[in-house]
Copies of this chain bind each other. A is one copy, B any other.
């Protein structure tokens, strides 16, 4: 589909702008990075095609959606399990916001978001029922302190249009 993923400095600056505001116009981006709008569009299209950009999304206040309960779940499996097997077992559980295999005693750490404690309990039960889980250990989130996008860059508060 497309070649390797080589980002020059202009690409990174475009990503910085788009990370702060995914709805920035090509003109706005161009005036920051010093390019014309069509030139910016070509680069953005290329970043999308090369999968460097995974998508454009909106950060919604979880409280506004009624998703107020959250937990970190450490999962311990029986025997050796391939990461791909775990990914396939869990990808259909929408309450799982992130999952990763880790070093240490646990095999994987999941982050689970639910509407209330009952909902959370059902989600964790479903996780434990999924293949080769021996046991799990959950801690419930009390306060969210920091929540960023993962590039050291946060979305910026939208301005009035």
Alpha-carbon gap, A140 to B53, bound state (A): 25
**Identical subunits present:** 2
Partner of A109, one of B41, B72, B154: B72
Alpha-carbon gap, A67 to B150, bound state (A): 9
1/0 per residue, CB under 8 A from B, across A106-117: the answer is: 101110010000
Alpha-carbon gap, A53 to B104, bound state (A): 37
Known: A22-B22, A60-B53, A145-B87. A65 touches B12 (CB 8 A): yes
Q: A residues engaging B (CB < 8 A)?
A: 5, 7, 12, 15, 18-23, 41, 45, 48-65, 67, 70, 72, 83, 86-87, 90-91, 94-104, 106, 108-110, 113, 139-152, 154-158, 160-161
